[in-house]
A and B are shown apart, each in its own frame.
Chain A
Amino acid sequence: MTHPTLMPQTEILRTEALAKRYRRRWALHDCTLSVPEGAVVGLVGPNGAGKSTLLQLIVGLLTPTSGSVRVLGGVPDEVMRSGRVGFVAQDAPTYAGLTVAEHLGLGAGLNPHRWDAAAAAERIDRLGLPLKQRAGALSGGQRAQLALTIALAKRPDLLVLDEPVASLDPLARRAFLDETAAAATATGTAVVLSTHLVADLAHICTHVVVLAGGRVRLASAIADICSSPADLDRIVLAELAAAHTEGGPA
């Protein structure tokens, strides 16, 4: 297995022996990673691999059982308060009773020092999201775009996306990933996103992390391990198959 670090230049994220246990089950075990500035990291693995747990530890929604996380040089709670990290949770939760415009107002109110209202309005306009539409009446893809807009309007240095495209149709998924890649390229924002689909990784990611059974199986720059999407697919599947054969820790 490749050594689980991503050859740091300037680190934007670092985990050291990070672990999380839910009652008697370890969801994440001995996770050591380093993410360089500007990287677009794809976190891939089967259900229950620990992807969401890792991402929620990074954004401070969960506290580690052991080990440590450093995000942008600080602890997650403080960094989140600075507004330098944008996060879109799985299924892109939004308030069903609030309109698109009210969500933008919410974002501005919750991030008074780092809110780019003009960029948010421009993005919503470009995506054609009706401002007066309640979030509950938006399609899954539109809701994901709304959540991404709130995350991007903070002008984050790190964007964390937890399976943002899992419930989207192929067109909406491609549109979301393209938007994310464009935003990351334009601002130099680092991205960590989790996904089931290796094709997504090949599409926008510069780095890959394979998680299985709560352990990091592979962490590498994509360019260092393969030259084509098909190679990446083969390598990832081989790691997952190996993890499955070994059984992995419970």
Chain B
Amino acid sequence: MIRLALRQFRAPAWTAVAGLVALAAVLLATRPQLTAAAAAAHRACGDDTNCPALVTFVHSNSPLSTAIGLVVLVVPALVGAFWGAPLVAREFEAGTHKLVWTQSVSRTRWLAVKLAVAGTAAVVLTGLVSVLVTWWAEPLDEAAAAVYATFDQRDVVPMAYALFAFTAGMTLGLVTRRTLPAMAMALGGLLAVRIVVTQWVRPLIAAPEQTTFALDPDHTGYGSGGNILLGIPKAALQPPPPDLPDAWIRSTAIVDGAGRPLTDDVLHAACPGLDQGGGGGPAGPVPADVAQRMHDCVAKIGETYHQAVSYQPGDRYWMFQWWELGVFAALSVLLCAYAFRRLHRHGG
């Protein structure tokens, strides 16, 4: 049985090896340049973590790091669609389940061996991709000081995503008995569960920490950010991002000592003429008098108000990694349990 499973998995395994070798070649070829550029930026900046040379280093390598990060995100989806979904569905489509299920080996053992062979390969492949990319991106991650920004592309969680996608694809293939619908549903399922876990489950793992920052009159502006698809919020004071390296910022607000948020009425009473800057035109240098008015306004507001920040500190990164690994592994176990139960009771 193991030999059959290995033999059936030979072509996908070779495809994966070829892809892995290609990725490794790109990473090995570009890493020395990355290391040298990081070293130069660190030499120029010394201990200053907000130094422009470091920011430039991160930004100039952004297209490549984004593309390589995308590979880590896509591998679990491909594993689910191309390894998980056809694992059982293709047997139904070809009728070969009738050949193997009528031999001396039970169908439970048949599925267990197939799952063990292809599932192990899925986890090992994704693990290797993640290890390679995590190693490659180390200089960039260190300079960016934003571990949560690449949380789902580094370390152990990609393996958990791959395991989940694989078992979801297999189970959907068992239920639908057709490869293409199972592939599509596996991709959709992975995306949906990833969003649910990131948005609603991960924040439940640990209560965020709270801290406050005084409003900085020199770097606080006024306006609104957003996009036309999701809507542009009302204009408000815009303090600079909190200086919390590697933190996962959950929320920021400008509040007074009692925790009451800054209202438009209070803001406009303290800073008359705040909306008279025009706006909507091309960006350009702020006139000195406007900058001074803004400075005075923020300084006045800052006498009563401060910035309150809710965040997950960087030292919780590994706790979140292991939790997320556990959540997706548990979901995978549930999917497998359902698949075995269905196979045993209904023959698929």
Instruction: Give chain A's interface residues, CB within 8 Å of chain B.
Output: 56, 59-63, 77, 80-83, 85-87, 89-91, 93-98, 102, 105-107, 109-114, 147, 150, 154
By a CB distance below 8 angstroms, the chain A residues around B98 are 56, 61, 87, 89, 93
Taking a contact as CB atoms under 8 Å apart, the answer to whether B96 and A93 are in contact is yes
Main secondary structure of the interface of A (DSSP, over half): loop
Q: List 12 A-B contacts (CB under 8 A).
A: A60-B101, A80-B101, A81-B104, A89-B98, A95-B96, A98-B7, A102-B7, A105-B3, A110-B100, A111-B104, A114-B104, A147-B99
Taking a contact as CB atoms under 8 Å apart, the answer to whether A97 and B103 are in contact is no
A155 to chain B, nearest CB (A): 12
By a CB distance below 8 angstroms, the chain A residues around B7 are 98, 102
Taking a contact as CB atoms under 8 Å apart, the answer to whether A109 and B101 are in contact is no
Taking a contact as CB atoms under 8 Å apart, the answer to whether B96 and A94 are in contact is yes
Tell which of B2, B11, B102 touches A60, judged by Cβ atoms closer than 8 Å: B102
By a CB distance below 8 angstroms, the chain B residues around A86 are 102
- Tally A-B pairs: CB < 8 A: 74
Q: Report the Cα distance A154→B105, complex, angstroms.
A: 13
By a CB distance below 8 angstroms, the chain B residues around A89 are 95, 98-99, 102
B94 at the binding interface (Cβ < 8 Å): yes
Taking a contact as CB atoms under 8 Å apart, the answer to whether A93 and B347 are in contact is no
Q: Report the Cα distance A93→B95, complex, angstroms.
A: 6
Instruction: Give chain B's interface residues, CB within 8 Å of chain A.
Output: 1-4, 7-8, 11, 94-96, 98-106, 346-347
- 14 new A-B contacts at CB < 8 Å, known A81-B105, A86-B102, A105-B3: A62-B347, A63-B347, A77-B106, A80-B102, A82-B104, A93-B96, A93-B99, A94-B99, A97-B11, A98-B8, A106-B100, A109-B1, A110-B4, A110-B103
Q: Report the Cα distance A82→B4, complex, angstroms.
A: 20
Task: Say whether, besides A89-B95, A98-B7, A102-B7, A107 and B347 are in contact (CB < 8 Å).
Answer: no
Taking a contact as CB atoms under 8 Å apart, the answer to whether B100 and A96 are in contact is no
B331 to chain A, nearest CB (A): 29
Q: Report the Cα distance A97→B94, complex, angstroms.
A: 12
Main secondary structure of the interface of B (DSSP, over half): helix
Q: Report the Cα distance A61→B107, complex, angstroms.
A: 10
By a CB distance below 8 angstroms, the chain B residues around A60 are 101-102
Taking a contact as CB atoms under 8 Å apart, the answer to whether B104 and A87 are in contact is no
By a CB distance below 8 angstroms, the chain B residues around A93 are 94-96, 98-99
Taking a contact as CB atoms under 8 Å apart, the answer to whether B347 and A61 are in contact is yes
Taking a contact as CB atoms under 8 Å apart, the answer to whether B104 and A80 are in contact is yes
Taking a contact as CB atoms under 8 Å apart, the answer to whether A107 and B102 are in contact is no
Chain A: which residue is nearest B95 at the CB level?
A: A93
Q: Report the Cα distance A237→B1, complex, angstroms.
A: 45
B303 to chain A, nearest CB (A): 74
Task: Say whether, besides A61-B347, A62-B347, A105-B3, A91 and B105 are in contact (CB < 8 Å).
Answer: no
Chain B: which residue is nearest A147 at the CB level?
A: B99
Q: Report the Cα distance A105→B6, complex, angstroms.
A: 13
Chain B: which residue is nearest A62 at the CB level?
A: B347
Tell which of B4, B106, B347 touches A81, judged by Cβ atoms closer than 8 Å: B106
Chain A: which residue is nearest B11 at the CB level?
A: A97
By a CB distance below 8 angstroms, the chain B residues around A83 are 103-104
The winner among B95, B96, B102, B346 for most chain A CB atoms within 10 A is: B102
Task: Say whether, besides A80-B104, A89-B99, A97-B11, A109 and B94 are in contact (CB < 8 Å).
Answer: no
A183 to chain B, nearest CB (A): 17
A-B residue pairs, 10 tightest by C-beta: A93-B95, A110-B103, A89-B98, A87-B102, A83-B104, A111-B104, A110-B105, A93-B96, A59-B102, A106-B4
By a CB distance below 8 angstroms, the chain B residues around A150 are 99
Q: Report the Cα distance A63→B342, complex, angstroms.
A: 13
Taking a contact as CB atoms under 8 Å apart, the answer to whether A111 and B102 are in contact is no
Taking a contact as CB atoms under 8 Å apart, the answer to whether A96 and B99 are in contact is no
Chain A: which residue is nearest B110 at the CB level?
A: A110
By a CB distance below 8 angstroms, the chain B residues around A56 are 98
Chain A: which residue is nearest B103 at the CB level?
A: A110
B290 to chain A, nearest CB (A): 72
A101 to chain B, nearest CB (A): 11
The winner among B2, B98, B100 for most chain A CB atoms within 10 A is: B98
Q: Report the Cα distance A59→B98, complex, angstroms.
A: 10
Q: Report the Cα distance A87→B101, complex, angstroms.
A: 10
By a CB distance below 8 angstroms, the chain B residues around A96 are 94
Q: Report the Cα distance A110→B104, complex, angstroms.
A: 6
Taking a contact as CB atoms under 8 Å apart, the answer to whether B96 and A110 are in contact is no
Task: Say whether, besides A61-B347, A62-B347, A109 and B102 are in contact (CB < 8 Å).
Answer: no
Chain B: which residue is nearest A56 at the CB level?
A: B98
Chain A: which residue is nearest B5 at the CB level?
A: A109
A52 to chain B, nearest CB (A): 10
A197 to chain B, nearest CB (A): 22
B271 to chain A, nearest CB (A): 71
Chain A: which residue is nearest B100 at the CB level?
A: A110
